[in-house]
Amino acid sequence: MKSVHNELSTFGQFRPRGLMRRLVALTRASSTRWIGKRRAFFLRAVGLKVLRGKPIDVETLGSKMRLYPAHNNAEKKLLFTPQYFDAAERAFLLANMRDDFTFVDIGADIGGYSLFVAAHAGPRARILAIEPQPDIFERLIYNIRLNAFSTIKAIACAVADRDGVITLFVNPTNSGETSMRIVNAHAKGGHLEVQARSLAGLLIEEGFGRVDAMKLDVEGAEDLILEPFFADVPPAMWPVILIIEDAPTRWGIDLPALVRDHGYDLVARTDTNIIYRRA
């Protein structure tokens, strides 16, 4: 896969102008109804052609971000249609935030969830943003620094069932679908070796005695992370809220059953995720 060159110049250099500015405004104003989404997706396709692979500087979900939407679906949504970016999940997090909210973002990508929580949870929050892909991690760091959020700590590693070096398989058309498990979408992509940590070891090392909410978006490897985690740490460290990417065909176990057996109730199932809360 051709790597993306990250442009780390001053924010604002790539602010939308002219037609691009108008397209962003129109897509963001689109409704969540079927016809509104069709309109937004058509205009988004036009916008991507206008951008021609270049980055763009915008404010979205309460934070400044430099986005590269050409090969990352999350960045497409954050740029053109933030109203469609996991709206139910964000609303649930917002309703459960408190002054000292702790949030662990596994598969943080360029920071959509982490920056959203930082923008709304206040100065006493504590956020751990974990992302293994070097070029994506560089963009995550850039976006955090744009907003001077002292509540976020970013860590460059994968989260797996063990510590050590693992192979990630890269989707050439959507870097957000890079996974520890190879699927058809990765057939023409590359792979990279990265350092991995177990979730239990990472949280203990970072001093997390409790976790209010955790998001796992690791493209079908959520079971590899959670099964040993529940076995290795006491219940006091289990997250109160779990947001798990819904990928049952890739899991090696019945992950929803495992989560239910550890005292979680199903809150909602969205287009892409399952939301749980500990009873």
Q: CA separation (Å) from 128 to 113, 114, 141, 211? A: 11, 8, 12, 10
Q: What is the pLDDT of residue 220?
A: 83
- pTM: predicted TM-score of the whole model, two decimal places: 0.91
CB 176 within 8 A of CB 109: yes
134-147 and 112-121 helices, crossing angle to 10°: 20
Domain coordinates in residue numbering, the chain? 18-79, 87-278
Closest CA to 232 of 201, 208, 257, 277: 201
Q: What is the pLDDT of residue 177?
A: 61
Task: For Cα atoms 178, 276, 184, give the angle at the middle one, nearest 5 degrees.
Answer: 25
Question: Token digits for 29?
Answer: 């104003």
* Alpha helices in the chain, H assignment, sequence order: 18-28, 34-51, 73-80, 87-95, 112-121, 134-147, 199-205, 222-232, 255-261
CB 152 within 8 A of CB 95: no
Please write the tens of the pLDDT for every residue from 186-204. Answer: 445 577 888 999 999 999 9
The CATH number assigned to the domain with range 87-278 reads 3.40.50.150
Q: Which residues of the chain have pLDDT under 50?
A: 1-2, 183-187
Q: What is the pLDDT of residue 271?
A: 93
- What is the Cα–Cα distance from 85 to 98, expressed in whole angstroms? 22
Please write the tens of the pLDDT for every residue from 134-174. Answer: 999 999 999 999 998 899 999 999 999 989 998 887 766 65
- What is the Cα–Cα distance from 13 to 118, expressed in whole angstroms? 24
